[in-house]
Each structure stands twice: as structure tokens, then as C-alpha cells.
């Protein structure tokens, strides 16, 4: 009995501690106003091509709107200018407008993934470009320690830097442009059908780019609120456990 109380007190203490830790401000100072992906990338520098493509495909508005309306957050993989300049010449120009949109959407995941969460995600990850299965837009990650590698079936690359993270939006620098199989793969991919129907990842089934309206508080505020509500619920559960001992 006494043991259990000590255990409960320790848990409460730890919970309090981790809640406090989670509430610390993000290392990168958030720009004032609503989260704005182009502003974040402009501040980081070296992303002019990616910014230009975000704007021309209007994926920047999509990202900003999704951030304002989503409670799962977003993850963006940003290739720097030298990644674009090392593409075979004419690569971008050979794409249709629709393919450019898909290429940029392929760099956006419809959920917030922290650096450490990459270790537990299941492949293939869903991107805003859509179908991660059937050889269309798979994006796989592998991790060793803190290192995160990405493969698309066309390119292998590394997450080289965390540019921004505020628990709703994570922006990572990747060394190469993520070329999706659907656009750059062989014209008629013939994946083993049994393999592609394997167990689905929870991420792959997450909400896609919906644009449901949220009224009142911003997504960031409601996210924080539900996080604290969750913490309060856990504390309440622990207290009732304690009382029942």
C-alpha cells in the first residue's frame, strides 16, 4: 500500500515534470502572427527554389491553411537550393503543372513528426501527394540513433537539419529533392501486390488534406488546450487511484 502511494506520488511528480518540460518554448523563435511556411524558410535562407515552387504551386497556402485548421500538425521536408541545382537539368521543366504540385506536396506530411518520432513511424509514410501504396507515392524512413534517412524508391537522402519545430509544424532540411516514384519511376511499376497490401500505418490512414473550418480559437490554441486537458485527465485518474488505495 505504502509502496503504491509512493509510486503514485512519483508518477505525479514525473508527469508534472514532463508537462513542464513539454511546455517550454520551442528553440526556434516563432515568427509573430500565424505560422507562415515561406516566412520560416526565408528566415532559414538557402531555400529560394523551394519557396518559389511552394508559391507557384500554391502549396504554401495549403500548408498555412492546414496548419490553421488541423490538430495533427504538419511536417515539411525542405530541400535547399543546391539540392535543386544538382537535379539533372530540365528535370523541373519537364513536369506538368499537376506534377509540380504533386512533387511539392510529396515534401509535406499531414502530421507533426518530431525527430525522435521518426524511430517509431511505420513505412510507407503518407504524404500530401496521396497514395503511399501501389508504388505511387511511397516515402520510407529509416533511423539509426538520431540519424534519419529517407528513401522514395528513386532517391535516398538524409535529414540533415531541423529548421523549425513548434509542436505543430516541423520543418527539416533534406539533402536531396524527394523525387516520387509515381513521377520519376518506370512508367508501369509492377509492385508485388501481396506486399503492397500489407498492414497499413496509422499515419497512412490519417486525415488527408481536408479543409474543415475551425471556428474561434486557432489550431495552436486548441492543440495546447487538448494537451492540457489530457494531462488533467491523467492526473485526475491518478488521484482517484491514490484515493482508492
Ligand X SMILES: *[C@@H]1O[C@H](CO)[C@@H](O)[C@H](O)[C@H]1NC(C)=O
Q: Are 172 and 78 in contact (CB under 8 A)?
A: yes
Rank residues 115 and 234 by Cβ distance to ligand X and give the closer one.
115
Shortest separation between residue 127's beta carbon and ligand X, angstroms: 12
How far apart are the C-alpha atoms of 123 and 9, rounded to whole Å?
38
Distances, alpha carbon 165 to alpha carbons 2, 28, 63, 169, 223, in Å:
42, 7, 15, 6, 15
| Closest residue to ligand X: CB criterion | 153
Report the first-to-last Cα separation within the chain, whole angstroms: 7
Rank residues 18 and 86 by Cβ distance to ligand X and give the closer one.
86
Shortest separation between residue 15's beta carbon and ligand X, angstroms: 32
Q: Are 178 and 157 in contact (CB under 8 A)?
A: yes
Rank residues 19 and 123 by Cβ distance to ligand X and give the closer one.
123
Shortest separation between residue 26's beta carbon and ligand X, angstroms: 19
Rank residues 36 and 71 by Cβ distance to ligand X and give the closer one.
36
Q: Are 170 and 162 in contact (CB under 8 A)?
A: yes
Shortest separation between residue 113's beta carbon and ligand X, angstroms: 15
Rank residues 151 and 224 by Cβ distance to ligand X and give the closer one.
151
Shortest separation between residue 22's beta carbon and ligand X, angstroms: 24
How far apart are the C-alpha atoms of 70 and 16, rounded to whole Å?
27
DSSP string, 26-64: PSSPPPSSS--HHHHHHHH-S-HHHHHHHHHTTHHHHHH
Report the interface residues with ligand X, using CB under 6 A.
34, 36, 38-39, 42, 64-65, 68, 123-124, 138, 140, 142-144, 147, 149, 151, 153, 155-156, 158, 195, 213-215
Shortest separation between residue 220's beta carbon and ligand X, angstroms: 10
Give the count of beta carbons closer than 10 Å to the beta carbon of residue 11: 15
Alpha-carbon dihedral sign for residues 64, 67, 69, 74: positive
Rank residues 4 and 31 by Cβ distance to ligand X and give the closer one.
31
Shortest separation between residue 25's beta carbon and ligand X, angstroms: 21
Q: Are 40 and 163 in contact (CB under 8 A)?
A: yes
Q: Are 125 and 107 in contact (CB under 8 A)?
A: no
Rank residues 94 and 211 by Cβ distance to ligand X and give the closer one.
211
Amino acid at each position: 500500500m505504502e509502496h503504491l502511494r509512493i509510486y503514485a506520488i512519483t508518477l505525479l511528480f514525473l508527469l508534472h515534470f514532463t508537462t513542464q518540460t513539454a511546455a517550454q518554448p520551442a528553440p526556434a523563435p516563432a515568427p509573430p502572427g500565424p505560422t507562415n511556411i515561406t516566412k520560416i524558410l526565408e528566415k532559414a535562407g538557402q531555400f529560394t527554389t523551394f519557396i518559389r515552387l511552394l508559391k507557384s504551386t500554391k502549396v504554401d497556402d495549403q500548408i498555412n491553411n492546414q496548419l490553421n485548421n488541423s490538430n495533427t500538425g504538419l511536417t515539411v521536408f525542405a530541400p535547399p537550393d543546391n539540392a535543386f541545382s544538382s537535379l539533372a537539368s530540365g528535370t523541373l521543366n519537364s513536369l506538368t503543372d499537376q506534377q509540380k504540385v504533386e512533387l511539392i506536396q510529396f515534401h509535406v506530411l499531414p502530421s507533426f513528426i518530431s525527430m525522435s518520432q521518426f524511430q517509431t513511424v511505420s513505412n510507407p509514410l503518407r504524404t500530401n501527394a496521396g497514395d503511399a501504396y501501389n508504388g505511387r507515392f511511397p516515402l520510407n524512413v529509416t533511423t539509426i540513433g538520431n540519424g534519419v534517412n529517407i528513401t522514395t524508391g528513386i532517391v535516398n537522402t538524409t535529414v540533415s537539419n531541423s529548421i523549425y519545430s513548434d509542436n505543430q509544424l516541423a520543418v527539416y532540411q533534406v539533402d536531396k529533392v524527394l523525387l516520387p516514384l509515381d513521377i520519376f519511376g518506370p512508367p508501369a511499376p509492377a509492385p508485388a501486390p501481396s506486399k503492397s497490401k500489407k498492414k497499413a500505418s496509422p499515419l497512412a490512414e490519417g486525415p488527408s488534406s481536408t479543409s474543415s473550418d475551425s471556428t474561434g480559437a486557432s489550431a495552436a490554441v486548441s492543440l495546447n488546450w487538448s494537451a492540457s486537458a489530457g494531462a488533467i485527465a491523467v492526473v485526475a485518474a491518478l488521484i482517484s487511484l491514490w484515493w482508492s488505495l
